[in-house]
Amino acid sequence: MIKYLCKRIARSLLTLVIILTVVFCLLRLMPIEGYFQNFDKLTETQIQVGLQEMGLTDPLPVQIVRFYGQLLQGDLGVSRVYRANVPVMDILADKIPLSIRLGSMSLLLALIVGLPMGGLMARFKGKFFDKFGTLFIVFIQAVPAAVYYLFIQMFGTELLGIKMTFDAEDWRSWILPVLSMSLGNIAYYGMWMRRYMVDESTKDYVRLAKAKGAGGSRITFRHIMRNAIVPLAQYIPTSFLNTVIGSIYIESLYSIPGMGGLLVDVIKRSDNTMVQAIVLLYATVGIIGLILGDILMVILDPRISLGKKAGGR
Amino acid sequence: MAFRLQKEKELQDSMVQNLQRQLSEEEMFSFAEYNEEAGEKVDFTNYSYWRSTVQTFCRNKLAVTLLCVTIVLLLFTFIQPYLPGQYDPNKVNMDMMTFVAYRNVAPNSQFWFGTNVIGQDLWARIWAGTRNSLIIGFSVAMVEACVGILVGVLWGYVRKLDFIFTEIYNVLDNIPNTILLILISYILKPGMRTMIFAMSLTGWIQMARFIRNQILVIRDRDYNMASRCVGSSTKKIITKNLLPYLVSVIMLRIALSIPGAIGSEVFITYIGLGLPLEVPSLGQLINEGRSLMMNASLRYQLIIPTAVLSVITISFYVVGNAFSDAADPKNHM
Amino acid sequence: MRKLVSGILSAAMVASLMAVPAVAEETADSTYHVLYSGENSTLNYLVTSTQAEQVCGANTIDTLVEYDNKGNVQAGLATEWGVSEDGLTWTFTLREGVKWVDHTGAEVAEVTANDFVAAMKYQLTPEYESANVQNFFGKIKNAEEYFKGLAGEEGYEEIAFEEVGIKAVDDYTLEYTLEAPCPYFLSTLVYVNNMPAYGPQLEELGESFGTDNEKMYYCGAYYMAEFEPQVKHVYKKNTLNWDADQVYIETIEKTYNTEAGTIGPEMIKRGEVDEASIGADILDAWMADPETSELISKERSDTSYSYFYCMNFNPNFEEEYAPANWKLAVNNENFRKAVQFAVNSIATISISEPNAPQQYQSKTITPVTFATLDGVDYTQNEAFTSLEYQGFDMDKAVSYKEAAMEELTAEGATFPVTVLVKYNPSSNDWDKECVVLEQQVEYVLGTDFIDIVVEAGPSENFLSEVRRSGEYALMKCNWGADYADPETWTDPFYQAEGDDLGYKYQFMRTAINEGTAAAADVQTYFDLVEEAKSYTIDLEARYDAFAKAEAFLIDKAFVIPYGISVSSYICTKLDVFEGQNAAFGISRLRYKGMSIKDHYISMTEFEENANK
């Protein structure tokens, strides 16, 4: 297992390098117009000087080597367009904690509500609770988030008697963003939990347990849930790590200065250093999430093996 | 040993005797009586997977209703332009003497769903938008399903490929879609085909990972081990052992990826990379409606497209779920 | 492992709950709250050319002269000024005792003439990428030579900065030397490129000047007390400002919200902000509701931008849209006139301004009220009033159509002529305008004559992909005044030999280069502009000559005048007419002189204020 993990981590570093290189090259395909804040008004000379200064006139391999050289020294570079001449690290350092805080709160809420909800729905399949839960899930799935977020903000702030925009100092203004953000995940976890549990409950070992005379709740929670949670568990670490990405809708609506929409923003504004830094961050997070997810799956279900080559083809 | 030889001899004798017996005509051929009960038994063993699936599905009245709704909706979006008295979805309705457009007209007998901010008929735009969104959804879901299942199965089952596919997944999954979308919109003309292409380009990867994880869970179960032991080919194990087992979850996944694609179209429009105005879509209509949402009297421009989108999503969700329940052989009976 | 998971969970929970301290609410009466939806990428006023980013410079840095709320020049940092007899040397006497303050409002140093010199030197350094550097070229002596020499451009040699036409004679005397007499020089001073910056700080910070509110000093009506990108900007009144008595708003607090357009109006209803713009889409509904209709007024009308339709003489689009056919058509005067008379700008303007579109319609390129001479508006010059083109005219359009059809058929053109119209999908309402344009013009001219094809361009790099590469037949373009003189409106059309036509509009020079039918008229226009530019002393002759050139451009239907920027409807507690006003420069961005009222200004009040 340890050996497997070491190998896996080494491979992940390789993956990161590939990702960054691919993104780096893709970004160089973008038109140069984006590199300048005021492209329209600049003279040809200024553009040339600017490109030279950014090292964009060098051949691609040279640029890549230089990029990795800086990266190894822990230098992510300075933003060019998003916030001219400000180090990327400084920009991200302000934003990441807020998004993580918001995201993990909402994810926790989603897990606390979503998993039991799915479990209970499966337990009482076809009964009132199942129908009610399904209705909720269907609603959340069906209505675009962009729309119901807006309704929640509009009526929620009125109901709570608070301002429409976010204020980190006021705990009440956290309620609606966290709640809005968690709704989608509640539905997601609820839906798949129910699905997997229903699938599991027709399996033979459940029939056997029933035949043995085990009680309904005991079967549901000791046998079925444990098996049903396996495929879901894989996504949980990723979900937590992904909170760093933030939510573009929520953060725009409530004026929350987090990471949400930052990537889209910097890509659209061709701020390459920012894009590279964010891609690096997200990719790292994604890969760690994947590893943790696999580990978690192995732990929860001993039948699954990752490292051993037994029976391999 | 002697005892055995003796017994064998006896048996042989009796058989010979039996064969040599003279039989009458009647004894050799006689009609069996028709037995209804026995007939039923034969029928039961004549089990057809798909027939049972359909039968189970049909028992879910809600799902059947919604399936009909979807089909009707689908047909209607294609028939609608040919109905009499329809407006062109892109036509700005204006007074041709003064060139003043009929803007933000609330639903009435002339404009059934009202008009939008520049005076285009929302009824026509919503159906055209639904049609376009469904086309996008179906196309993307099909590509996702085909590529995703193929890759996912290989990825999950063939261990040697795991490394490569995991690598490909990590790379593709971590390249921001927005970069691709912008690059594509820069290279190709904005339009439906570009949108479908852009969305399919990386959409399959999630499906593939999903399948891979499912396969990983069941790959080493006993019956697959057994299959391998008796020397079944990889192809046979995949098509006969693994895929049928996964039909139910795959179905659900596909059913959900259609509204999923429509939903991501809403998002792409939101970040400003959506379809041009002359190609209406639900995403575009909803985004236009969003900016009016704070005004009660204009909210119809948001609510109607949202409702259509919701109906589509709900239908696919319920139908998908019902079908995946029905596709599970354990639920047949 | 399960313990570990729950450990992570609980850690996250604790972390997330810990950091939510209690509240403290305060609202000062003289604080002006407003939302903004686009973040500044820099506060460095010396390099930016976008209006949104110039707001900071406009309010925190003073200029040599200022405009009052009626548009008259008055003293600013300079108390006196004069020009030499040859019109080449301008001398300014600076106000004494003006202070630089930092982001806490504390005094740092005194503003001297050297700070103006330092600021110009900074901008003329190529690596700082100042977007406004071209404003110096051809005006300030040797500015272009110095800049291009530094950049190592071919044909230029490095020269000493001392040779550039700006000099601090002493701490309080500043001298500009121009390349040629410039009757409108004072107006160019009220722009970011002629603002001062504290020299030693510029030297020290270089590229990172203005990247943060702590990385610049202020001498204007306000200083920037807080700059939290994508959160808020807070401006506080600078009590050390020489004219602090005229500054009435104590604090301006701008909160970032990308959905400002959607939630801003609702926040007005709840009284949470003091200003929000009301989009044309919800305007009708707000006007219809007696409660909200009282809250709406408008922005002061803006004549610094002009919009017009350009016809491309160098079509460079795909074969399917028949560029050759379009080239034939666009070189035909009657065809151009038919299109010119057929475009009804009222129909398209009413998309963004449904109530009074005619207020924003122009019949000239130069906007009304942009320039006046002896009390007569420039656009009332006889050259314009005697023009045949006075806006949309269906009958004329149809008669020109017939003439064009006859002539063009003889030349071998095919009908209907395909007209490719492109728009930038990320630009608000432009798509909608194109749809309306298509329908309206096709209705007037008939689809047997013209087939307008509307197509979305790329949302990124629209300019270089479409306008500069000539991938359009007809397109709405705009031009912003760079100084307060009619010459500024000829800049996009006047194309000298060897100019990069991509940076000019509609490739008119192509007609001359290729000797097509319109060549003679294009040449006449260029000659008229050159003649007008030669009058530098006699303003009347100058204005007459520019008016003649512009009228010729319109009369030959090279362009279709469209309108000026539509003033958006806003809810605000400010009387916008109290603020500084000028057709060019940053005067309109200043809050100085305005005071917060206790209610949102209504339309009637707005009109009363306008006529005060």
Hey, which of B198-202, C341-345, C585-589 has the most confident mean pLDDT? C341-345
CA torsion sign, A38 to A39 to A44 to A50? positive
Give how far C96 is from chain A: nearest CA, Å.
34
Q: What is the mean pLDDT of residues B157-162?
A: 82
CA dist., res. B109 & res. A85, Å (int): 59
- CATH at C442: 3.10.105.10
pLDDT score, position C28: 44
CA dist., res. B141 & res. B153, Å (int): 17
Predicted complex: ipTM over 0.90: no
Chain B residue with minimum CA distance to C357 = B100
Asked if the model's pLDDT at residue B320 lies above 70, the reply is yes
Which pLDDT tens digit goes with each residue over A153-212? 988 988 888 888 888 788 888 999 999 999 988 988 888 888 788 877 777 787 787 777
CA dist., res. B145 & res. B148, Å (int): 5
Q: Which of B182, B276, B291 lies at the smallest CB-CB distance from C431? A: B276
| Residue C2 belongs to a domain | no
Closest CA to B73 of B265, B316, B289: B316
C460 contacts on A by Cβ (under 8 Å): 30-31, 33-34, 268, 270
Question: What is the DSSP code string of C288-305?
Answer: HSHHHHTT-EEPPP--SE
CA dist., res. C171 & res. C110, Å (int): 10
Closest CA to B313 of B147, B130, B139, B78: B130
pTM (predicted TM-score): 0.78
Domain count, chain C: 2
How far is CA B81 from its chain centroid?
27
* Contact predicate A27/A274, CB 8 Å: no
Q: Which of A45-59, C18-32, C228-242, C382-396 has the least mean pLDDT? A: C18-32
Residue with tokens 């109530």: C355
Which pLDDT tens digit goes with each residue over A91-119? 888 888 888 889 999 999 999 999 889 88
Which pLDDT tens digit goes with each residue over C289-341? 888 889 999 888 888 889 999 999 999 888 889 999 999 999 999 999 999 99
Question: What is the DSSP code string of C320-351?
Answer: GG-HHHHHHHHT-HHHHHHHHHH--HHHHHHH
- CATH at B82: 1.10.3720.10
Angle between helices B300-327 and A172-201 (to 10 degrees): 30
Same domain, yes or no: C212 and C324:
no
User: Cis ω on the peptide bond leading into residue C416 (within 30° of 0)?
Assistant: yes
Q: What is the mean pLDDT of residues B36-44?
A: 57
| Residue C332 belongs to a domain | yes
Instruction: Tell me which of C546, C565, C584 is where a domain ends.
Output: C565
| Three-state DSSP class for residue C486 | helix
* CB spacing of B179 vs A286 below 8 angstroms: no
Closest CA to C244 of C19, C502, C62: C62
Asked if the model's pLDDT at residue B187 lies above 80, the reply is no
pLDDT score, position C16: 42
Hey, which of A25-29, B264-268, C414-418 has the most confident mean pLDDT? C414-418
Closest CA to A153 of A69, A253, A46: A253
Q: In what order do the strands lie in the sheet with C78-83?
A: C78-83, C89-94, C173-177, C166-170
* Other C-beta atoms lying within 10 Å of the C-beta of residue A220: 21
At residue C168, what are phi and psi to the nearest 5 degrees?
A: -95, 100
* Contact predicate B182/A267, CB 8 Å: yes
* CATH superfamily of the A96-300 domain: MetI-like (1.10.3720.10)
Could you give the angle at the alpha carbon of A34 between the alpha carbons of A33 and A39, nearest 5°?
50
Chain A residue with minimum CA distance to C231 = A257
pLDDT score, position C369: 84
At residue B312, what are phi and psi to the nearest 5 degrees?
A: -60, -50
* Contact predicate A130/A150, CB 8 Å: no
Average pLDDT, chain A: 82
Average pLDDT, chain C: 87
A232 Cβ neighbours under 8 A, 6+ residues apart: A115, A189, A192, A193, A196
Give A233's strand partners.
none
Average pLDDT, chain B: 81
Backbone angle region of C230, left / alpha / beta, with phi > 0 → left and psi within -120 to 50 → alpha: left
| Residue B26 belongs to a domain | no
Give how far B72 is from chain A: nearest CA, Å.
19
CA dist., res. B311 & res. B129, Å (int): 14
How far is CA C349 from its chain centroid?
18
- CATH at C72: 3.90.76.10
Residue with tokens 């309620």: A175
Name the residue range of residue C104's domain.
7-16+37-220
pLDDT score, position C11: 43
Q: CA dihedral defined by B311, B316, B319, B322, rounded to 10 degrees? A: -120
| Residue C574 belongs to a domain | no
Domain count, chain B: 1
Q: Are strands C107-110 and C166-170 parallel, antiparallel or unpaired?
A: unpaired
Q: Which of A85-94, B3-12, B150-159, C555-564 has the least mean pLDDT? A: B3-12
CA dist., res. A88 & res. A105, Å (int): 26
- What is the pLDDT confidence band of residue B162, given thresholds at 50, 70 and 90? confident
Burial (CB count <10 Å: 0-12, 13-18, 19+), residue A271: buried
* CB spacing of A146 vs B173 below 8 angstroms: no
Residue with tokens 């990161």: A16
| Residue B281 belongs to a domain | yes
Query: Is the Cβ of A248 closer than 8 Å to some Cβ of chain B?
Result: yes
| Residue B33 belongs to a domain | no
Q: What is the mean pLDDT of residues C385-394?
A: 91
Closest CA to B220 of B170, B157, B270, B267: B157
Amino acid letter, C7: G
pLDDT score, position C9: 40
* Contact predicate C113/C194, CB 8 Å: no
Among C153, C230, C268, pick the best mutation site for testing chain A contact (most A Cβ within 10 A): C230
Residue with tokens 């700008």: C345
User: Could you state, in order of their start, the residue ranges of all structural domains in chain A?
Assistant: 2-88, 96-300
Q: What is the mean pLDDT of residues B229-244?
A: 80
A171 contacts on C by Cβ (under 8 Å): 20-23
Burial (CB count <10 Å: 0-12, 13-18, 19+), residue C239: exposed
* CB spacing of B298 vs C285 below 8 angstroms: yes
**CA-based Rg of chain B, rounded to a whole angstrom?**
31
Same domain, yes or no: C373 and C503:
yes
Query: Is the Cβ of A279 closer than 8 Å to some Cβ of chain B?
Result: yes
pLDDT score, position B250: 82
C454 contacts on B by Cβ (under 8 Å): 278
pLDDT score, position C18: 41
pLDDT score, position B65: 92
Q: Which of B91, B104, B293 lies at the smallest CB-CB distance from C284? A: B104
Residue A80 DSSP code? S
Query: B333 or A138: whose pLDDT is higher?
Result: A138
At residue C140, what are phi and psi to the nearest 5 degrees?
A: -80, 130
pLDDT score, position C530: 92
Name the residue range of residue B132's domain.
49-326
B183 Cβ neighbours under 8 A, 6+ residues apart: A26, A29, A30
Q: What percent of chain C has pLDDT over 90?
A: 53
Asked if the model's pLDDT at residue B44 lies above 80, the reply is no
CA torsion sign, C332 to C334 to C340 to C342? negative
**CA-based Rg of chain C, rounded to a whole angstrom?**
27
Hey, which of A74-83, B237-246, C350-359, C524-533 has the most confident mean pLDDT? C524-533
What tokens does B134 get? Answer: 């469904």
A57 Cβ neighbours under 8 A, 6+ residues apart: A48, A51
Instruction: Tell me which of C195, C220, C245 is where a domain ends.
Output: C220
pLDDT score, position B9: 63
* Other C-beta atoms lying within 10 Å of the C-beta of residue A304: 18
Query: Is the Cβ of B183 closer than 8 Å to some Cβ of chain C?
Result: no
Residue B240 DSSP code? I
- What is the pLDDT confidence band of residue A245, given thresholds at 50, 70 and 90? confident
- What is the pLDDT confidence band of residue B7, given thresholds at 50, 70 and 90? low
Amino acid letter, C518: A
* Other C-beta atoms lying within 10 Å of the C-beta of residue B286: 28
pLDDT score, position B5: 56
A139 contacts on B by Cβ (under 8 Å): 310
C545 Cβ neighbours under 8 A, 6+ residues apart: C528, C531, C532, C535
C400 Cβ neighbours under 8 A, 6+ residues apart: C334, C335, C337, C338, C341
Q: Which of B60-74, B92-106, B289-303 has the least mean pLDDT? A: B92-106
* CB spacing of A85 vs C42 below 8 angstroms: yes
Q: What is the mean pLDDT of residues C126-139?
A: 86
Instruction: Tell me which of C220, C255, C288 is where a domain ends.
Output: C220
Query: Is the Cβ of A264 closer than 8 Å to some Cβ of chain B?
Result: yes
| Residue B157 belongs to a domain | yes
pLDDT score, position C29: 64
pLDDT score, position C5: 39
Which pLDDT tens digit goes with each residue over C66-116? 999 888 899 999 999 999 988 899 999 999 999 999 999 999 999 999 999
